[in-house]
Amino acid sequence: MKSIKTNIRIVNRKQLKQFLELWNQSEKKKGVLIMGNTGTGKTHIMDEFCSGAIMSATSLVRNYCKGGMDRLTNNKGHYSFKAECIDDIGSELSASYFGQVMNLIEDVILEKYERKVCTHFTTNLNMFELEERYGSRIIDRLKDMCYILILKDTNLRVLCDDSNIDNEIESSIKAREDYMKNNREAIDSKIKELEYRKLEAKKSKLDTENIAQSKISNIDIDSFIEDFNLKFDVKDN
């Protein structure tokens, strides 16, 4: 059987997966604590590694708040939830049930340690932040019961966001092109209608001016004829 050294290691995602493969070939007496920033893939990797037997610290606290210890323990008082990995420790709130407040994850870690139950953990906190959250006693237990790996790698969520942004830009451009294509006929028709209305308005204006001018001319001619008749006393034959 292969063995694993107990020192803390800094790994990338590929190395983490290799380490877990090596862990599968070991005697499996210790769990794995994976530390690292958000988005580096800790939860995804451990979910796959544990075949789905993973539960977040927040979910455990939520279960306790709904039904107390009865929802989490068996008739012997031992924690009986099926998760092999407790995800994102340090992010949970204090657990409260009918006024009974406790640090549930701290209690879970102590019990797993005392019963020597192999358990994995992930966290976004570093060692100093974990100690501030749970105290040096819990940190000592974690160091004793887990191989500690610090995952340093690219943020998968940011990469996904970049990809999504590019997709949204492409979709927006395509939508604009499709809109212009599908509405071009309507737009052209509207432009032609406006141009026709403009011509009609111009024509109507010219017609109005011509009519007005025509009336003035008629009036002048009639006046001229009337004056001519009066002056020369022209009579019809």
User: Which residues on neighbouring strands pair with residue 147, listed in sequence order?
Assistant: 32
Q: Does residue 58 or residue 216 have the better pLDDT?
A: 58
Domains defined along the chain, listed by start: 9-154 (3.40.50.300)
Residue 20: closest CA among 203, 163, 130, 146: 146
Q: Report whether pLDDT(88) > 80.
A: yes
Q: Report whether pLDDT(217) > 80.
A: no
Angle 120-122-128 (CA atoms, 0-180°, nearest 5)? 115
pLDDT for 226 equals 56
State pLDDT tens for residues 127-170: 999 999 999 999 999 999 999 999 988 777 665 555 555 666 67
Q: Report whether pLDDT(2) > 50.
A: no
Pairing label, strands 146-151, 120-123: unpaired
State how far the alpha carbon of 130 is from the alpha carbons of 88, 105, 142, in Å.
11, 12, 10
What pTM did the predictor assign? 0.64
